[in-house]
Amino acid sequence: EGLAYLNFCYLPMAPLEERAVDEPDPVTSAMRIAKKWKEDDLESTWIEPTKKKYDDTFHPELVPAGFQWHFAKVLKDAHPVATKLPSWLREESLQQVWEEMHRFVVLIYLSTRSPDTKHGNFVVLHMISSLWALENVCNVIDDEEITRSALEQFWAMGICLLGASAAGFPTPEMLKTASEEFSSNQVDAENFNWAPIVQRGCSEEEEHNIKLVRVCRVLWNRYGHWKGFSEAAKSFTITPNIGPEQTSFAE
């Protein structure tokens, strides 16, 4: 479901430029984009004009979906901040790219939580679940070049997704705070008790939360008990209004 949510129509993006920016990791790339977002006011110069550019003849099947319709417009007119790809996507091993991407989307989830309620962002939750789904699909295909291409498409899509969301791209301050609070050496004890989180997830009416728990728990076990995974797993989202007139993904 996570992958399907972001794969709702065939909509090729502008050509992606490999190794366009020499950077070592996703967080460095995101910090650059966050600064660019603010300095160039990409909300006003890219997102808003793009959303207004197309009427309901553009993918009319998506109009009732609200956010997905606007997101499709942004994908069609992707900005160079999305299409100029960082070098680490091609230069690191696939194993390392998968790990860094999983950690990165969770870090974005943590950085975009509601400061008051700590509810997770509904849109960003789909980045976590769709990346998980993409990895499983790529494992079945078992082709390195296809996997590299899929990861590049996912990265570019993610930049557009965050830009198109109601909250916009996370600020440099949000990313810095989350990166410091959940640095890679912040790990849970070996006997960390997942039972209360799993029980709470199973009793949730919002069905995305148990998916969040499932993915984060598997990744927690795989990647050294990083605290970011356990914290994200208990930062449940709430069901947003996803109608065409009033679409809100603030929490």
Q: What pLDDT is attached to residue 240?
A: 77
Q: Identify the residue with better confidence: 15 or 183.
A: 183
Q: What pLDDT is attached to residue 243?
A: 53
Q: What pLDDT is attached to residue 10?
A: 65
Rounded distance between C-alpha atoms, residue 157 and residue 13, angstroms = 9
Most confident of 12-16, 146-150, 244-248: 146-150
Rounded distance between C-alpha atoms, residue 91 and residue 24, angstroms = 9
Instruction: Please determine, for residue 121, whether its predicted confidence score (pLDDT) is greater than 90.
Output: yes
CA torsion through residues 48, 49, 55, 61, sign:
negative
Q: What pLDDT is attached to residue 211?
A: 95
Q: What pLDDT is attached to residue 15?
A: 87
Q: What pLDDT is attached to residue 5?
A: 61
Q: What pLDDT is attached to residue 66?
A: 87
pLDDT by residue (tens digit) across 32-44?
999 999 999 999 9
pLDDT by residue (tens digit) across 182-194?
999 999 998 999 9
Express the helix, strand and coil content of the chain in percent, nearest 5 each.
60, 5, 35
**Average of per-residue pLDDT values in the chain:** 92
pLDDT by residue (tens digit) across 58-77?
999 889 888 889 999 999 99
Cβ atoms 205, 87 nearer than 8 A? no
Rounded distance between C-alpha atoms, residue 199 and residue 197, angstroms = 5
Query: pTM of the full predicted structure?
Result: 0.92
pLDDT band at 111 (very low <50, low <70, confident <90, very high): very high
Rounded distance between C-alpha atoms, residue 151 and residue 131, angstroms = 9
